[in-house]
Amino acid sequence: MKLFQLFIISPDAVLFDAKVDYISVPGTQGYLGILADHQPMITTLKPGEFRISKPGSPTITFKTSFSGLLEVSSSKVSVLLAAEDNQIGLKLKES
């Protein structure tokens, strides 16, 4: 399966930076599933559950009570959360 670079960013930190094969995010119009080579897009996110799939690793699941933005480009996906790192209480940074 093809991979893409995923960044999850808060105003004060990069929370996650790794190659993944799938992410599910809570869009304001419903949940979105993103795979490699997805059409470019920008959309808003609402609070909810995120699921991240990496080859050879268990699925990473976390919930946030903060809104944000999702940007999908040709080979990367960026999630911008509207909360400082210490408000999220989450540290997912990986290499």
Confirm if 19 and 31 have CB atoms less than 8 A apart. Answer: no
Please identify which residue in the block is written with the tokens 């080979």. Answer: 75
Does 28 reside within a domain?
A: yes
Range of the domain at 70: 4-88
Q: Report pTM.
A: 0.86
pLDDT at residue 95, rounded to an integer: 36
Does 21 reside within a domain?
A: yes
CATH number at residue 75: 2.60.15.10
CA–CA gap between residue 87 and residue 77 (Å, rounded) = 22
Does 94 reside within a domain?
A: no
Report how many domains make up the chain: 1
User: Judging by DSSP bridges, how do beta strands 4-10 and 76-81 pair with one another?
Assistant: parallel
Does 13 reside within a domain?
A: yes
Does 93 reside within a domain?
A: no
Does 42 reside within a domain?
A: yes
Residues of the chain where predicted confidence (pLDDT) is lower than 70: 84-95
pLDDT at residue 93, rounded to an integer: 44
Q: pLDDT by residue (tens digit) across 6-24?
A: 999 988 888 889 999 999 9
pLDDT at residue 68, rounded to an integer: 94
CA–CA gap between residue 31 and residue 28 (Å, rounded) = 8
